[in-house]
Amino acid sequence: MSVISTTDLVKDYQLNGITVNALRGVSIRVEPGEFTAIAGPSGSGKSTFLHLVGCLDTPTAGTISVCGADVAAMKRDELAMLRRRTIGFIFQAYNLIPVLTALENVSLPLVLLGQPRAAARKTALDALAKVGLADMGDRRPKEMSGGQQQRVAIARALAKEPELILADEPTANLDSVTAGEILDLMLALNRDGKTTFVFSTHDKLVMEYARRLVSLRDGKIVEETVK
User: Max CA-CA distance within the chain?
Assistant: 52
* Domain encompassing residue 37: 4-226
Overall average pLDDT of the 105-111 stretch:
95
What's the pLDDT tens digit per position in 151-190?
A: 999 999 999 889 999 999 999 889 999 999 999 999 998 9
Instruction: Find how far residue 55's CA is from the centre of its chain.
Output: 11
Rounded percentage of the chain residues whose pLDDT exceeds 90:
78
State the Cα–Cα distance between residues 11 and 57, nearest whole angstrom.
Answer: 9
Question: What CATH number is associated with residue 217?
Answer: 3.40.50.300
Question: Residue 139's pLDDT is what?
Answer: 97
Residues β-bridged to residue 91: 168
C-beta separation of 131 from 151 below 8 A = yes
Confidence of residue 1 (pLDDT cuts 50, 70, 90): confident
Which pLDDT value is given to residue 117? 95
pLDDT grade, residue 17 (50/70/90)? confident
pTM: 0.91
pLDDT tier for residue 25 given thresholds of 50, 70 and 90: very high
Q: Is the pLDDT of residue 16 over 80?
A: yes
Q: What is the mean pLDDT of the chain?
A: 93
pLDDT in tens, 49-97: 999 999 999 899 999 999 999 988 888 899 988 998 899 999 888 899 9
The tens digit of pLDDT for each residue in 188-199 reads 989 987 889 999
CA distance 193 to 188: 8
Span between the terminal Cα atoms of the chain, in Å: 22
Domain count, the chain: 1
